[in-house]
Structure 1
Amino acid sequence: MSTTSYAVLAKARAKYGRHLTDRDYSSIVACQSVAEVMVYLKSHTHFSSALSEVNERDVHRGRLEMLLRQYQFYEFDSLCRYDSSMSEGFSRYVVEKTEVEQIIRFLILLNSNSTEKFIFQFPAYFVKHTSLDINKLANARDYSEFLSALSGSVYYDILKIYKPDRRGMLPVSYMENKLYAYVLGNVFELIKKKAKGTERKELLQMFYTINDYTIFSKILRLKKYYNLSPEVIKTNLIPEYSDLNAKMIDRMCAAESSAEVFRIMQSKGCGRLINKIGYTYASDISPRVQYRMAKKYIHFSDNPSVVMISYMFLAETELTNVISMIEGIRYQLDKSIIQSLIIR
């Protein structure tokens, strides 16, 4: 292992070493207000540097969340600056994933005629990291103007085939699927081109398993809440980056009940993780599997790129936990409910 590669591995593990503990989570859940949460994060956790200039008396939930997301983005960016063979590719992955999240958010607002809200929730720190014309996008008021704002980007080529229906509604689910397929495709191309041996095997296993469970969760959701046909469900999946075979996906899509979908998934090796992760809601399963795999690899992998992406996944989970706790405290949910939302 080169000195640079060792530095990436050591840096990622050092950052993970500062993660929130069970005691931190219990202390945050015990807070009575968003201001109290901010005081705790500022005084007792690694988020302190992100909040050092913020006065807890003036804190707003939206601003607190933005500061935490900004902090996380720059943590990832600093890690990707190390000159390893995979760092540049994972840096691109972080940027593309953020771009896609913002595009999807805009499309949802466009469907509800609320595009004026876009700029107020846009992560300002991200502007200098993207080639998208954010001002033009923020000022778009219809789908034609939206596409014009994306002109010259790969996202324009992906989305130009779609049109609003007679009610003016866009098929956001299909569009989301195509956008994430693009992001995943780039990750798999990176892994297959630059990774070798156990590094390649571990990275592929991680991303395949994560997408396997994303497919499983999406099938459950589309059947339960939208009662879609098997054919329509399949168009909302990304099977080309999954370890699930076509027959198994067909069986889950055609299943008569959620229990049957579970049984089919658990008949495969990776599906047996369901019984080990301790979930409260079916929607928890995919992020809990991702967390479990990342925690395993950050401790036991000797491959810098695997440890780096594992740290990113763990940090994302931690931030999701913090935001869930902030929301729960803000809306005065029962402490036991807030605890059940924490992934660990």
Structure 2
Amino acid sequence: MAVSYADNAVMAKAHAMYGKRLTKENYNDMLNCKSLNELANYLKTRTYFRSDFDALPTNIDSAQIEEILKISLLKKCEKLCKYQLSAGENFYRYFVVQNDIRQLMTMIQLLIIGKPEKYLSSLPPFFNSKTDIDLYDLAKVRSYSELLGVLEHTDYKKILERYRDNYSDDGMFILIENDLNKYRFSFLVKSIKLSKDRRKKKEIYETVNYRLDMYTLTRAYRLLNFGSPNKMFIRDFGVQNCTNFSEKDLAAMSEAKNATDIVKIIPNTYYKKDFSKVDFKYIENATREMLIGQQLKGFRYYTNPTAVMLCYLFLAENEVRNIIHIVEAIKYNIPADKARSVLIGTES
């Protein structure tokens, strides 16, 4: 199947957007900022985020910066989704589902801490028009029962209904997050199967399988750190037939007694080579560093526009995560060198 003009447009747009990414110099400058106002002004005047920070308040706080960055990420996604839609593919629906889940997780977190009124949602028009959730009603939610009511005619209600009576109990949030993300990844796999370009599905599966496996490792490690979960919880993280782990690997993870056991398993899996390249300190950093390497390689060499789009948006999301780490470092007076140690992918 020949690559269409619209397909080429998706890839060209993604590469053009990646070309504007933050440089190592940008990161060094931001790490040297002494206040959140100084950081916000730097983003406005010295980076491609200038239009996002155009209407800058006099005294900006960390939550405002984080919200601006997340909206910026959604705008990037919106641009690429429009190109992809013109190419006749419906993968844009996955990104709608991904954003729906982020909105729901935010609301559930706020319900758990008793501050649902803090929920704010400002989405680009594309996502507002495509989501099945009434975001205005979502903003009015003040209880878990009301949340389920807003989700009445969506798949999300079936997922969240089982947690009606225990959503705020210790350890429940990570299980809710897992169920919602499993739905998200299953939705993506279903979209891959419906894709027109059968020859290039392999590229999408490569990036999805890697991402799912890193998710599984991180969640298994976190759950074992938290306590002693039922072994089926760990097996339930993945999506059937979308993994590079062998049955032996999955069995070993299910039988792990503690988080350290998970780390010991990795060198005996498909990810042995990639894991050997990272300096393991925290599971989230290790898996993200491995993912950055795979996604960057895919972004540069894939020819499937959807695979390229998935890789680019992951790289863009990582950039936002890095900035948020810097925001937190400034807010809590963390030394620049220590803050730099948790930034990932700043050399790419």
Determine if contact 1:93/1:183 at 8 Å carries over to the other structure: yes
**Which residue number in structure 1 is paired with residue 238 of structure 2?**
238
Say if 2:33 is the partner of 1:36. no
User: How many pairs are equivalent?
Assistant: 340
> Any residues of structure 2 matched to 1:207-226 within 5 Å, and which?
207-226=208-227
Measure the CA separation in 1 of the matches of 2:167 and 2:137.
25
> Any residues of structure 2 matched to 1:113-262 within 5 Å, and which?
113-119=114-120, 122-125=121-124, 127-165=128-166, 171-194=172-195, 196=197, 199-235=200-236, 237-240=237-240, 241-262=242-263
Measure the CA separation in 2 of the matches of 1:145 and 1:138.
11
What is the RMSD of the two structures over their aligned residues, measured on CA atoms?
Answer: 2.5
Determine if contact 1:291/1:314 at 8 Å carries over to the other structure: yes
**Which residue number in structure 1 is paired with residue 332 of structure 2?**
331
Measure the CA separation in 1 of the matches of 2:16 and 2:318.
17
Shift of 1:3: 1.7
Q: Percent identity?
A: 26
Q: Which amino acid aligns with 2:11?
A: L
Tell me the alpha carbon deviations over residues 285-307 of structure 1, each in whole angstroms, 9 at most, x when there is no partner: 22222211111112122222222
Determine if contact 2:33/2:330 at 8 Å carries over to the other structure: yes
The change in CA–CA distance for 1:99 and 1:199 in structure 2 (over 3 A counts) is: same
Q: Secondary structure at the match of 1:269?
A: coil
Q: Secondary structure at the match of 1:302?
A: coil
Say if 2:44 is the partner of 1:47. no
The change in CA–CA distance for 1:209 and 1:164 in structure 2 (over 3 A counts) is: same
Question: TM (normalized to structure 1)?
Answer: 0.89
The change in CA–CA distance for 1:7 and 1:166 in structure 2 (over 3 A counts) is: closer
Shift of 1:330: 1.4
The change in CA–CA distance for 1:152 and 1:231 in structure 2 (over 3 A counts) is: closer
Q: Which amino acid aligns with 1:42?
A: K
Tell me the alpha carbon deviations over residues 253-305 of structure 1, each in whole angstroms, 9 at most, x when there is no partner: 32234443223222112243112234542221222222111111121222222
> Any residues of structure 2 matched to 1:43-82 within 5 Å, and which?
43-55=45-57, 57-82=58-83
Tell me the alpha carbon deviations over residues 29-85 of structure 1, each in whole angstroms, 9 at most, x when there is no partner: 011111111121111111112112325x33232222222221221111111111468
The change in CA–CA distance for 1:170 and 1:342 in structure 2 (over 3 A counts) is: closer
**Which residue number in structure 2 is paired with residue 4 of structure 1?**
6
Q: Secondary structure at the match of 2:253?
A: helix
Q: Secondary structure at the match of 2:189?
A: helix
Measure the CA separation in 1 of the matches of 2:92 and 2:98.
10
- In the alignment, structure 1 segments of 5+ residues that lack a partner are none
Measure the CA separation in 2 of the matches of 1:303 and 1:165.
43
**Which residue number in structure 1 is paired with residue 22 of structure 2?**
20
